[in-house]
Amino acid sequence: MNVLYISYDGMTDNLGQSQVIPYLKGLVGYGHHFDIISCEKPDKFSTKETEIRNLLDSLNIGWYPLPYTKRPPVLSSVLDVFRMYRKAYSLNRVNKYDAVHCRSYFSGMIGQVMKTKFADKFIFDMRGFWPDERIDGDLWNIKNPVYRIIYNYFKKKELQFFNEADLNISLTHAGLNEIKKMNVRKEQIDKFSIIPCCSDYELFKPLPRDMVLVKQLGFEESNKILCYLGSIGTWYMFDEMMAMFKQLHFQDNSFRLLIMTPEPPSMVYDSAQKLDINADLIKVLSATRQQVPQFLSIAHLGISFIKPCFSKLSSSPTKMGEMLAAGVPLICNSGVGDVERIINDTKTGVIIHGFSEEEMQSVAKKAIEMIQIPRENIREQSRPVFALESGVKLYAQAYDKMQNQ
């Protein structure tokens, strides 16, 4: 197929480099051709444009980057969507695409129009219940009449996307179960495919423990390392993760905490102070995607606690696959997408169902026992779910299914 891929996320963003380009590269191998329209943040575009351009050129993927605008709120997004639509319209007149693959809601609005105007197949790759994520993450105050209007508008659009798309992609079975409760036509439910956020198992792999790195970070060879990878705040239950570290350290005082995050270290140390955790036990740093596997080589356990709310039933945590690919067993909480089912089925971690002291004690004990599992076992047990090639194959099958409808 000749496909126009529209993403409000930039290809120079980490997300574009991990969750868009690798999939399109794989789908090119199945005989599909892509052009990409994306909105690029100026600071990242200025440093990454040449690298990304060369990569996409090597794959014969066309790239039409547009500037991302942040202000004024709301109106800036309207302007960005208009620019993306105008570019999509002009490209479609020349290239006559078979399908428009729309990543999330802003892009979905363009796909709707393209289907009506050009009869292009409309692929809605939802990535999550985006309007509800804004509420659950306290980014929109639903009591504010402006945000209430915006929320209701996008919930209406969401239902339209589900009912009009030729192919819908959900990250989780749990998310699709919620969609089945909505006013979605039965024949449209059959047009859903489930594809989780996958990881590059060539980049993320078990590596020999880097003892030089251990020393550089101020740890001892005998230390066991709990690792957190990602953002802090909004949906991420950071205080609860710190409390779990405290429990692990109580049961085994050789535990230390390594946090890789783009956030200011002060956010970590403020949380540690609240819980009376010695700051000397913690190391906070930022790392590029290429550096992360080396840091994971020294980790014994990973942790990911996400707010168990409605919107997160449709979420598939990206970092989960990356840590499992590196052979690091995980401590995760229930109520987030398909996380509990995957962890239990693959036997690659421990699930916590609440945050009482008794539950944390029990989970910490089980997690410490999991350190004995060979890293290669963790990796291979998770591979069928999270390996990039599995995700690419699922997309290829979904494309074929849509074409044959």
Q: Examine the domain organization and report whether 189 and 41 are in the same domain.
A: yes
**Residues contacting 15, CB < 8 A, separation 6+:** 9, 318
What is the arithmetic mean of pLDDT over 223-240?
A: 94
Domain presence at residue 288: yes
What is the arithmetic mean of pLDDT over 132-138?
A: 94
Tens of pLDDT along 169-212? 999 999 999 999 999 999 999 999 999 999 999 999 999 999 99
Q: Examine the domain organization and report whether 304 and 394 are in the same domain.
A: no
Q: Give the pLDDT of residue 75.
A: 86
Percent pLDDT > 90 in the chain is 97
Domain presence at residue 203: no
Give the total number of structural domains in the chain: 2
Q: Examine the domain organization and report whether 192 and 271 are in the same domain.
A: no
Q: Examine the domain organization and report whether 243 and 311 are in the same domain.
A: yes
Tens of pLDDT along 59-106? 999 999 999 998 887 789 999 999 999 999 999 999 999 999 999 999
The sheet that has 282-285: what strands, in order across it?
282-285, 255-260, 224-229, 301-304, 330-333, 349-352
Sequence letter at residue 112: Q
Q: Examine the domain organization and report whether 190 and 245 are in the same domain.
A: no
Q: Examine the domain organization and report whether 11 and 129 are in the same domain.
A: yes
Q: Examine the domain organization and report whether 184 and 220 are in the same domain.
A: no
Contact criterion met (CB below 8 Å) for 158 and 168: no
Tens of pLDDT along 116-126? 999 999 999 99
Band of pLDDT at residue 217, cut at 50, 70 and 90? very high
pTM: 0.94
What distance in Å separates the CA atoms of residue 93 and residue 99, rounded to the nearest whole number? Answer: 13
Q: Give the pLDDT of residue 207.
A: 97
Query: Which tokens sit at 373?
Result: 């599992």
Q: Give the pLDDT of residue 405.
A: 84
pLDDT above 90 (res 366) = yes
Closest C-alpha to 198, from 293, 290, 322: 322
Q: Examine the domain organization and report whether 253 and 176 are in the same domain.
A: no
Query: Which tokens sit at 79?
Result: 């302007």
What distance in Å separates the CA atoms of residue 12 and residue 101, rounded to the nearest whole number? Answer: 19
Q: Give the pLDDT of residue 193.
A: 98
Q: Give the pLDDT of residue 74.
A: 78
What distance in Å separates the CA atoms of residue 265 and residue 39, rounded to the nearest whole number? Answer: 29
Q: Give the pLDDT of residue 24.
A: 98
Contact criterion met (CB below 8 Å) for 203 and 233: no
The sheet that has 121-125: what strands, in order across it?
62-67, 33-40, 2-7, 99-103, 121-125, 167-170, 192-194
pLDDT above 90 (res 263) = yes
Q: Examine the domain organization and report whether 290 and 357 are in the same domain.
A: yes
Band of pLDDT at residue 233, cut at 50, 70 and 90? confident
Query: Which tokens sit at 184?
Result: 């979605």
Q: Examine the domain organization and report whether 140 and 235 are in the same domain.
A: no
What distance in Å separates the CA atoms of residue 257 and residue 301, rounded to the nearest whole number? Answer: 10
What distance in Å separates the CA atoms of residue 376 and residue 378, rounded to the nearest whole number? Answer: 5
Mean pLDDT of the chain: 96
What distance in Å separates the CA atoms of residue 272 and residue 275, rounded to the nearest whole number? Answer: 5
Q: What is the CATH number of the domain that holds 192?
A: 3.40.50.2000
Domain presence at residue 205: no
Q: Give the pLDDT of residue 234.
A: 85
Q: Examine the domain organization and report whether 234 and 355 are in the same domain.
A: yes
What distance in Å separates the CA atoms of residue 22 and residue 35, rounded to the nearest whole number? Answer: 14
Domain presence at residue 206: no
Q: Examine the domain organization and report whether 64 and 129 are in the same domain.
A: yes
| Domain span including residue 20 | 2-198+388-403
Q: Give the pLDDT of residue 71.
A: 85
Tens of pLDDT along 18-69? 999 999 999 999 999 999 999 999 999 999 999 999 999 999 999 999 999 9
Question: Is residue 258 helix, strand or coil?
Answer: strand
